[in-house]
Structure 1
Amino acid sequence: MEPSPFLKNQEMPLKKSFSLRTLFNLFFVISLGLNAYFLVVQGRASSVDVTYATGLEEDKSVKVQMASLNSKPIDDSDMATSVHEEEPILGSEQVDEVPAYEVKQVSFDSSAQPAGRNIQTLQLKVRNSLNYTVCREMAKSECGSFAAHLARLLAWFLDVNRNMRNGDVLNVVYERLDNEGQFKVLQLTYKSGYLRKTLDANYYKGAGMKYGGYFDRDGKEIAQRIEDQQTPIAEYIEITSLPGDFRKGRRGHSGTDFKAEVGTPIRASFGGRVLRTSWNVRVNGYCIELDHPKEGVITRYLHLSRVLVKRGQYVKQGEVIAESGNTGRTFAPHLHYEVRSRDKKKTVYNPFNFKYHTSYHRNIPSQEDKEFQDVVSAYDALLQNNGIGEKIQAG
């Protein structure tokens, strides 16, 4: 007997249910097996990765320790000569920066020189301008800086932009210092057609001098100094800029720059009242402005490390009001000193020509004259023999 259609309809789902259940169970077992396999494999891989990463960290640690042991500190504390000490500061105006010179080493032939010193000579005949003349002989990357250094010395004798003549003869003995691109002029001689005489500047540091200076052959310092009672700074390395000095793309410099170590005492040039302190600090650094009604001027002191007075305070002539520094827009520690008229014209005065400032020239003491002349003779010998000479004393 054949089963009824109803029974047939019931048998079909029973078989189908059995078949699906079997497949589901089989799939479940396979899934468990695969999961177990991946867990084991990944566990081993993670162990390998951790071991490898740990090895890298240990290797990196060792390399860092080795680098630390091999590194040496760099001593940059030397107060070596540099050219532009700052950008021009005109009141509280904002100015753009001038790109610095790229400095590279240059050398000149010399058969011998004092042991341990890199002293060189340069002989030039002026053509067109001082800068053009120097740049014909030196690398362009540093000739502008060297020419500016020479101009600072010549400025005490003549107007470098107006009084130099084609054919003038310039001889220089200078020392290259340990720091690349830095140097110290030891002797400069200049045969001037305009003045019809030979000018000379010889570096010398006497026993009683904290800092050396440049003197003519008679022992008279070429740079002027302000009388002690009136000077804003008594101890300084050198004067690196004067009022009116040309700055590329700008108006003339508005003050006198005294290169000095940070912390040097700064004094009020005249008695007066503090008008303001530390304005436009980004450019001027810490600074002071004093009012002097009696003299008809105001004075400014810029790039300070410490200000010791307050607005409205009255100060006496010679009173310590601050300490020199290297704050604001500046390339080396120095004091920027300004003397301006109190009227609307705001005339900038050269302190060495100002009627209320008394200036003088320092002289070599008589007891040191022979030693000074020996140094000058040594410079002469180096120049004449292109590097052959006696040991030179230079501070």
Structure 2
Amino acid sequence: MRPSLPTLGAPPKRSRTGSVVFVSLLLGGAAGGAYWWKQNKGALPFQSPPPAAVAEASPSAANPAAVQAPTPPPAPVDPLTAAGLSRVSVKIDGPLETALVQASDPSVGPALAQVVTRTLVWWVRVPNEILRGDTLDVLYQLRPNEEPLVHAVRFTSGKTGKTHSAYRFQAPGDGYARFFLPTGEEMEERLEHSPLDDFEQVTSLLRDGRGHKGVDFKAAVGSPVKAPFTGVVKRKNWNFGSNGNCLELEEVGGKRRRALFLHLSELPKSLKPGARFSTGQVLAQSGNSGRSFAPHLHYQLMTQDDRVMDPFDSHRTFRRTLSADQKSSLEAEVRRMDSLLGSAVASGN
């Protein structure tokens, strides 16, 4: 018979109390979960945002310098562009048109030269008195299907030894903008007993180098044309293809001048040779008939032996001057234009 092994201890007895507690906790947790689900049904559990989202929501935390970065300044605006103008500056070393074409554009230069010449002729004879080394600065505006509109001209002349300036300006109450000198005088001379009381510009003179026999006044169709002296109608509407509706008035007594008026509006049939008109009496209305490219009046003076006379030599002339109030407005425009013209072309350039 084997001796019995020593007893190490009987297996522990299970406690019913522990099992009860465990089951109770399990059931309680299940009941609590069910209650939470009913209260938060369909809600998504909270999730921590990714670091990138936190950085976007709080740029100062992720990159403090981003908040302090200054806004870049706007690009500077060119004053000429803002004013809708262009500028050309040249030193003349040959024909004026060539200089302007080289400084601007072949599509602009020829027309610009014609317009600029209308100002230069009041200071020098064109082209003979435009000398090598003369300088010219022009502010102008391009217009579709029209000649450039010049706003300011500055011309330094070797012939006169002066710098001449003229500025486009419309005085209050005037029907047209005209060119004025800084002194407040009109650049263009006016004729006493002129055929037109009002016009936009003298576009051609005998001394402008074109070989034109008369003075062209740019004026609206229908502007009253007046007799410059007392005379009788000698003829009307000859050479219609070139002259359009036209009149010739022969002076009674005095110098016996003959005045030709071309490109008129239609003349009344009642107007016949021999009709007499006094100085200042309305003869007709200006127009755009015959070989004419824009509304204007061609005014031509002739002697009895067919010599051409310059109206600006035959008539007395004057320059209109602005009033004090108008002059102050002109001075403001002169300052604005001078700032856009900038420095004159250096004589050594």
Q: Which bin holds the TM-score, normalised by the shorter protein?
A: 0.7 to 0.9
Describe the superposition over 1:282-317 as per-residue Cα deviations: whole angstroms up to 9, x where unpaired. 110000001114222100100001325321111111
Alignment partner of 1:300 out of 243, 254, 260: 260
Quote the Cα distance in structure 2 between the aligned partners of 1:244 and 1:284. Answer: 21
Q: When the two structures are superposed, what TM-score results if normalisation uses the length of structure 2?
A: 0.72
Describe the superposition over 1:338-369 as per-residue Cα deviations: whole angstroms up to 9, x where unpaired. 110012xx111111111xx2210011111222
Assess if the C-alpha contact under 8 Å between 2:167 and 2:179 holds in 1: yes
Which consecutive unaligned segments of at least 5 residues does structure 2 have? 1-76, 345-349
Secondary structure in 1 aligned to 2:128? coil
Quote the Cα distance in structure 2 between the aligned partners of 1:244 and 1:154. Answer: 11
For the pair 1:111 / 2:78, whether they are aligned, the reply is yes
Partner in structure 2 of residue 379 of structure 1 = 337
Partner in structure 1 of residue 203 of structure 2 = 240
Tell me by how many angstroms 1:192 deviates: 1.1
Q: Return closer, same or farther for 1:114/1:364 CA change in 2, 3 Å cut-off.
A: farther
Quote the Cα distance in structure 2 between the aligned partners of 1:361 and 1:157. Answer: 14
Tell me by how many angstroms 1:150 deviates: 0.8
The residue type equivalent to 2:131 in the other structure is R
Alignment partner of 1:360 out of 290, 294, 318: 318
For the pair 1:264 / 2:223, whether they are aligned, the reply is yes
The 5 Å alignment of 1:70-85 reads none
Q: When the two structures are superposed, what TM-score results if normalisation uses the length of structure 1?
A: 0.64
The 5 Å alignment of 1:1-395 reads 111-113=78-80, 115=82, 117-177=83-143, 179-227=144-192, 230-247=193-210, 252-294=211-253, 295-308=255-268, 309-343=271-305, 346-354=306-314, 357-384=315-342
Quote the Cα distance in structure 1 between the aligned partners of 2:96 and 2:322. Answer: 30
The residue type equivalent to 1:281 in the other structure is F
Assess if the C-alpha contact under 8 Å between 1:301 and 1:335 holds in 2: yes
Tell me by how many angstroms 1:112 deviates: 3.3
Quote the Cα distance in structure 2 between the aligned partners of 1:114 and 1:373. Answer: 22
Assess if the C-alpha contact under 8 Å between 1:307 and 1:321 holds in 2: no
Q: Please identify the structure whose Cα radius of gyration is greater.
A: 2
Assess if the C-alpha contact under 8 Å between 1:142 and 1:181 holds in 2: no
Q: How large is the Cα RMSD of the aligned pairs?
A: 1.8
Quote the Cα distance in structure 1 between the aligned partners of 2:163 and 2:183. Answer: 13
Assess if the C-alpha contact under 8 Å between 2:244 and 2:290 holds in 1: yes
Which consecutive unaligned segments of at least 5 residues does structure 1 have? 1-109, 387-395
Describe the superposition over 1:90-130 as per-residue Cα deviations: whole angstroms up to 9, x where unpaired. xxxxxxxxxxxxxxxxxxxx823475x52111111111121
The residue type equivalent to 1:153 in the other structure is T
Partner in structure 1 of residue 26 of structure 2 = none
The residue type equivalent to 1:129 in the other structure is P
Quote the Cα distance in structure 1 between the aligned partners of 2:146 and 2:233. Answer: 41
Tell me by how many angstroms 1:141 deviates: 3.1
Identity of aligned residues (%): 32
**Runs ≥4 in structure 1, deviation > 4 angstroms?**
none
Describe the superposition over 1:150-200 as per-residue Cα deviations: whole angstroms up to 9, x where unpaired. 1111001001212222221111111223x2453211110011122111011
Quote the Cα distance in structure 2 between the aligned partners of 1:298 and 1:190. Answer: 36
Tell me the number of residue pairs that the alignment of Structure 1 and Structure 2 aligns: 265
Assess if the C-alpha contact under 8 Å between 1:262 and 1:324 holds in 2: yes
Quote the Cα distance in structure 1 between the aligned partners of 2:203 and 2:311. Answer: 14
